[in-house]
Amino acid sequence: MLTSIISTTSAASSTALSMTTGIGLPEYGVLAVVALIFLLSAKEILSASKYWKSSVCASLNMSIFPLLVAFAGIVIFKVAEII
């Protein structure tokens, strides 16, 4: 009976340790960077065309600024990971 209690306790503790995860950003950071590059390119191209309006600028800025914040977070975490 003592052996079964020890093995049950050992199994429970190893399960608890395997449930922990590391701190960091998800692996979808590459998609955010690609979307940021795409939106910045579209903004540059549209700014030189006849379709450029203040509403287009505002809508692109609304999607670019959060991606810039995410990009800054990715860079900070990657640099901190190296250091």
pLDDT digits (tens, 9 = 90+) for 23-45: 555 677 888 899 999 999 999 99
The two tokens of residue 80 are 């901190």
pLDDT digits (tens, 9 = 90+) for 58-79: 999 999 999 999 899 888 988 8
Residue 51 has what DSSP assignment? T
pLDDT score at 19: 57
pLDDT score at 62: 95
Q: Which is more confidently placed, 57 or 25?
A: 57
The two tokens of residue 13 are 């503790």
pLDDT score at 23: 59
- What is the chain's alpha carbon radius of gyration, rounded to the nearest angstrom? 24
Separation of alpha carbons 57 and 59, rounded Å: 6
